[in-house]
Every structure is written in structure tokens, then in C-alpha cells.
Amino acid sequence: MPTTAATVSVPLAPSLGGHRVPVVYERRGSGEPLLLLHGIGHHRQAWDPVLDVLATERDVFAVDLPGFGESPALPEGVPYDLETVVPVLGALCEALGLDRPHVAGNSLGGLLALCMGREKLVRSVTALSPGGFWTEAERRYAFGLLRGMRLGARALPTPAVERLSRTTAGRALLVSSIYARPGRRSPQGAAAETRALRESTGFRPTLEAGRHVLFDDDIPGLPVTVAWGTRDLMLLRRQGIRAKHAIPGARLIRLPGCGHVPMSDDPALVARVVLDGSLPVADAGQRPAERTEPVERVAD
């Protein structure tokens, strides 16, 4: 289904100069609103494998975070930390007329989704391999892997990226760090996200801002789902156990055979997890009991 991206201008806090920041998004479907947030160095098209399914039941807003995809960089001197980006996302929801949407995020997007839940800006949170539950050694490993991916993407000329993306082996070379099944990624998708990683202006400052990030807060009174791929090479799945300890009321779900960005590895499973995590509810924090464990692949 062809879609057209739109841009909305949202304000920064007065303490950051009160600038307005353009944020690019695409909208699809109908139903309760669902905000989709991608990871560092990625773009909103990471959600393409599940977008059509989600749009059958939700009014979906897939967002390019500031400094990634088609969204311009933040103004010079404005940090890419959680204290800046989370309010930007809150202002985005307000500008779009979204009253506490559901939110699903992957990696950095998962961390941002959890922070939005902590601030009660959303009505439910689904976080896929979210950042912030690492040890210092695990963070250094993940950030080193990200830097290596960025260097590789910047070293490859565009014609080489296009050639590699046309074969299964080439796509494995380009994106196997984040996908367990890189052959399932479309050639166009693999090439586009390699370019997005190469060109993202927010990559370095976001990585720098994340050096001291830890998420250890509970999110009471809000439905929270944390899902982790069993073949995640970026953020190891044992971090999901820490997430469960930090947020005792969260559902912790295994995604068998999925990597760090699971939407392409198993679209049907991921779509189901997100839809069940964003069930319409009559009262905040209350979901129908028969739908609290939507898949059998649940880790307690």
C-alpha cells in the first residue's frame, strides 16, 4: 500500500531555545492510535514488514526520530538525550492530536517508549529489545558493534551497497548484525537502511548521550510488554530478565529465532505481540484477562 510521508513541526522546551523541530512520519490504518519508534541508525521503514497488519486494527504513526531517516537533525547544541527526545515525542503526539497513544519501540525506540510510559504520555508500551538494561560491559559491546556497523556503512559506496543487497549473502553482510534472518529482508529495505545508518546525523550524539543511560524504574498502572529475540546479537536476551525485575508487572515474551530488529525476522509474531500489547482498554492498566498472554512463547 503506497503511503506519503508528512512532516509536523513540534516545539522544544523553552530551556532549549524554544526552537521548532520538524518530525517526519507516515500514517496508516484506523482504530486506536499506535506510535512506532525505530532504533539508533535506523528509520521508520524498519516497521514496514508489520505495518499493513498493524494498520488493520490501529491508526498507526511510524516516526523518523530527530536526526534519523528523513527527520532533520536537532538544532546545534541541543542534546540527543532522553530529557530532550521524550518531550519532543510528547509534543509530537499533541501536535498530531493523539491523546495518549499506544507506543511500540525497538532498541532505542523501545527505551524511548518505556520513558514515555514512565511519564504517562501513552496508554500502553510494547518494547522490543529496548536499550537501558545493560551492564557496562554489555553497553560497551553493543556500542562498539554499532560503531563498526556505521563505519562499514560509510565505507561502502552506494553502487556496492546496491549490488550486495541483491543477493542473500550480500544482505547477510550488510544487516546480519541486527537480523537473524537477513535473507528475509528485501533488497530495497537492506540498501535503504544501510544508507540510513550512513547518513543519520543523530547517530553520534545519540550514542554519546546513551553512555550513562540505565532504565531501572517501574511503570505502575500501565500495560507493558517487553519482547526479546532469542538470537539478538546486539542486546543479549538476558537483559530482558533485568527488564522484568525493573518492571515486575510487565509481560516478558521470547521471540524465537528473531534478532535485534525482529519485525522482519518474524512479522506475524511481532505484529501479534504489538497488537495484543496495545489492546483497547476501558481503564488504564486493565486488559481483558484472557488476552494478557497472547502467545505461548512467554518467559516468566
pLDDT digits (tens, 9 = 90+) for 114-123: 999 999 999 9
pLDDT at residue 60 is higher than 60: yes
Buried-state track 282-291, b at ≥16 Cβ within 10 A, e below 16: eeeeebeeee
Distances from the Cα of 65 to the Cα of 86, 153, 182, 277, angstroms:
10, 19, 24, 22
66's CB contacts (< 8 A; 6+ apart) are 21, 23, 72, 73, 74, 80, 85, 88, 202
Same-domain status, 155 and 67: no
Same-domain status, 89 and 173: no
Same-domain status, 123 and 266: yes
Which residues are bridge partners to 127 per DSSP? Answer: 105, 226
Distances from the Cα of 239 to the Cα of 137, 155, 214, 236, angstroms:
12, 31, 12, 6
pLDDT at 3: 60
Domain that holds residue 70: 6-135+214-291
Same-domain status, 182 and 242: no
Domain edge (last residue) among 186, 204, 222:
204
Average pLDDT on 75-80 reads: 94
**Mean pLDDT of the chain, nearest integer:** 91
pLDDT band at 16 (very low <50, low <70, confident <90, very high): confident
Does residue 296 belong to any structural domain of this protein?
A: no
Average pLDDT on 258-278 reads: 97
Same-domain status, 174 and 264: no
CATH of the domain at 58: 3.40.50.1820
Same-domain status, 115 and 251: yes
Same-domain status, 36 and 56: yes
Average pLDDT on 266-291 reads: 70
Is residue 24 within 8 Å of 96, Cβ to Cβ? no
pLDDT at 293: 38
Which of 16-25, 136-145, 288-297 tops mean pLDDT?
A: 136-145
Q: Is residue 201 exposed (0-12), middle (13-18) or buried (19+ Cβ within 10 Å)? A: middle
The 3-class secondary structure across 215-279, one letter per residue, is: CCCCCCCCCEEEEEECCCCCCCCHHHHHHHHHCCCCEEEEECCCCCCHHHHCHHHHHHHHHHHCC
Over residues 209-265, the pLDDT tens digits come to 999 999 999 999 999 999 999 999 999 999 999 999 999 999 999 999 999 999 999
Which cell is 74 given?
536537532
Same-domain status, 77 and 200: no
pLDDT at residue 129 is higher than 60: yes
Which cell is 146 given?
554499532
Same-domain status, 45 and 106: yes
pLDDT band at 280 (very low <50, low <70, confident <90, very high): low
Same-domain status, 156 and 275: no
User: How many whole angstroms from its chain centre is CA 32?
Assistant: 19
275's CB contacts (< 8 A; 6+ apart) are 53, 54, 57, 58, 294
pLDDT at residue 286 is higher than 50: no
pLDDT at 84: 95
Rounded Cα gap, residues 119 and 106, in angstroms: 18
pLDDT at residue 283 is higher than 70: no
Same-domain status, 176 and 273: no
Domains in the chain: how many in total? Answer: 2
pLDDT band at 288 (very low <50, low <70, confident <90, very high): very low
Query: By percentage, how much of the chain surpasses pLDDT 70?
Result: 92
Same-domain status, 111 and 245: yes
Rounded Cα gap, residues 197 and 112, in angstroms: 19
Average pLDDT on 13-30 reads: 92
Could you tell me if residue 145 is left (phi over 0), alpha (psi between -120 and 50 degrees) or otherwise beta?
Answer: alpha
